[in-house]
Amino acid sequence: MELKGKTAIVTGSARGIGEGIALVLAREGANVVVNSRKVKDCEVVVQKIVSSGGKAIAIGGDVSEKADVVAMVSETIKQLGAVDILVNNAGIEGTPCLTKDLSEEQWDRVLGVNLKGVFFCCQAVIPQMMKQGQGRIVNIASTAAVRMTFFGSLEYTVSKHGVAGLSHHLAWELADSHITVNTVCPGGVQTPLMEAGTTPEYREMTIKRLIPLGRFTTMEEIGEAVSFLASDRAATITGQMLAVDGGLLTGFGEDLRAVVRTRMESMKAGAH
């Protein structure tokens, strides 16, 4: 339990990758703030942690709203006394489309959560971490932060590249305050949402095309990477990007442009 006594905020942790991260951090002894826009959505994860002997609280808030973020951090300090670890996991995708069809509203919404939300959360915890004399910030990006998203849209790729740049800058800026800032880049992660939205055949085809290790990553495996970067074992690791992707970024893959364009055009046609 190498995080025993530490307090961790995990944004967007009511389900999916965020849930996996929250459960692993709790297993390692951290007191976990489970966050989602609605408090009630966090209750199942909080109960899982508590029933396993850990400590967790739910704090609602939209990370794209600065007032919500400030209130979340303030409540965390009030209830748990510190903020040792911040995991910026909250993220959204817009309706997949080609750039010629991308609306300003979708651009603003995705960048608002995926990038501005990370900025707001980092900005809110930095004073407390500086006061404590240490801290760990782990930002969850994507392999889209290194290359691009295969099946999403431009704004998602831009938002994740932005997270990578933000992390690099903050790592330099905060190093003398003993605050490390790193980025985890998940590849294909098998979440309940993915399973609900795809067929087994589609998942098998994707694995064969893109993932050298031959399987998707689990939610808990993303949590293991975050836990390491949040621990004392990673005390001198900062400003780094860690891909947890089954080798996706090592391969050449296929030219999927035709597949992607056909899919997006068919989705557009179906919306009318």
**pLDDT of 47-70, one tens digit each?**
999 999 999 999 999 999 999 999
Which residue is catalytic, options 156, 159, 179, 181? Answer: 156
Alpha-carbon distance of 269 to 162, in angstroms, equals: 31
Query: What's the pLDDT at 22?
Result: 98
pTM, 2 dp: 0.92
CATH topology assigned to domain 7-270: Rossmann fold (3.40.50)
Residue 156 a catalytic site member: yes
Which residues make Cβ contacts (< 8 Å) with residue 37, sequence separation at least 6? 60, 61, 62
**What's the gap between Cα 232 and its chain centre?**
21
Q: How confident is the model at residue 202 (pLDDT cuts 50, 70, 90)?
A: confident
Average pLDDT of span 219-243: 98
239-261 pLDDT per residue, tens: 999 999 999 999 766 666 777 78
